[in-house]
Amino acid sequence: MKSSIRDILRNDGKRLEAALLLDAGSARIEVQCLLQAVLQVNRAWLLTHAEQPLDDQQQARYAALLERRLCGEPIAYLLASREFYGLAFKVTPDTLIPRHETELLVELALQRMPQLQKCRVLDLGTGSGAIALSIAHARPDAEVVAVDVSAAALAVAQDNAQHLQVNNATLLHSDWFSALQGECFDVIVSNPPYIAAGDAHLEQGDLRFEPLAALASGADGLRDIRRIVATAQHHLKAGGWLLFEHGYDQAAAARALLQQAGFAEVFSARDLAGIERVSGGRSSL
């Protein structure tokens, strides 16, 4: 007997719940997403065709995806897609999966970009391009430069720029500022790697499957943030802002680094969970 969509939602939701310790709602949504991807339908179709069985080919494709998810592979990699700031981004195992809390960084950057004049924004370590392309999409008049040290990640960001029809973003291969001699910006943003090497979180959940170079940053997780903060003022226009994401317990360290480097108006901002997630300051040079 072939399983109907209803059976699959009920049974496999429970399997995912147990295997990955998900709550029932999230597990059900994940099964829905896998089915939508295999059947190429939207959620409304799925829920109004609950009695329909899958054909053999669909069943085989679905079963393969479910098996991979049961082994912990991130749903975003299985679907090759993740929504961020209202836009659909392609993601692959070469890129970090964009997180919703990073949308705070986009908001803070958009608030600080000059309104009525030509404005340049730099995104350091762009990965899938989530931050840079969201900003470029929201401000088509701005010029956005996005860099990454990973050529494979840049290829994904390039695909995303094309797919989202963003024409005001330039993607460059660069180790932080290495390819940006003499370039100055109004706002520099970054969601750099910031987890301490050896941190137990690296062995948990989605992180196990994401590129380590996008996650881990030296013994205390601050190696890359230190580098960025030390150099950023050479690439900021007078009064320009540096804004970056960091770990849940790194806000005080981030503010201290910004102050030591001579930034003014140093601040940290809380994400929706109430965690200080982004810090920044203004160039005083």
* Assigned token pair, 16: 């995912």
Q: How far apart are CA 241 and CA 233, in angstroms?
A: 9
The minimum distance between CB 193 and ligand GLN, in angstroms, equals 5
Which of 75, 87, 96, 145 is the binder for ligand GLN (CB under 6 A)?
96
Which of 12, 76, 102, 207 is the binder for ligand GLN (CB under 6 A)?
102
Q: In degrees, to the nearest 5, what angle opens at C-alpha 280 toward C-alphas 240 and 234?
A: 45
Which of 130, 135, 207, 251 is the binder for ligand GLN (CB under 6 A)?
130
Q: Determine, following the binding rule CB under 6 A, whether residue 13 of this chain makes contact with ligand GLN.
A: no
Q: Determine, following the binding rule CB under 6 A, whether residue 233 of this chain makes contact with ligand GLN.
A: no
- Between 39 and 136, name the residue whose CB sits nearer to ligand GLN: 136
Residues touching ligand GLN, count (CB under 6 A): 13
Q: Determine, following the binding rule CB under 6 A, whether residue 280 of this chain makes contact with ligand GLN.
A: no
Q: Determine, following the binding rule CB under 6 A, whether residue 74 of this chain makes contact with ligand GLN.
A: no
The minimum distance between CB 38 and ligand GLN, in angstroms, equals 26
β-partners of residue 146 are: 123, 171
* Assigned token pair, 18: 């147990």
Residue 251: Cβ within 10 Å count: 19
- Between 188 and 214, name the residue whose CB sits nearer to ligand GLN: 214
Q: How far apart are CA 278 and CA 101, in angstroms?
A: 9
Q: How far apart are CA 123 and CA 121, in angstroms?
A: 7
- Which phi and psi (to 5°) does residue 175 adopt? -90, 100
Q: Which helix (H) or strand (E) holds 238?
A: strand 236-245
* Cβ-proximal residue to ligand GLN, closest one: 127
Residues 153-212 that bind ligand GLN (CB under 6 A): 191-193
The piece of 4-12, 22-30, 128-136, 230-238 that touches ligand GLN (CB under 6 A) is 128-136
Q: Determine, following the binding rule CB under 6 A, whether residue 221 of this chain makes contact with ligand GLN.
A: no
Tell me which residues touch ligand GLN (CB under 6 A). 96, 98, 102, 125-128, 130-131, 191-193, 214
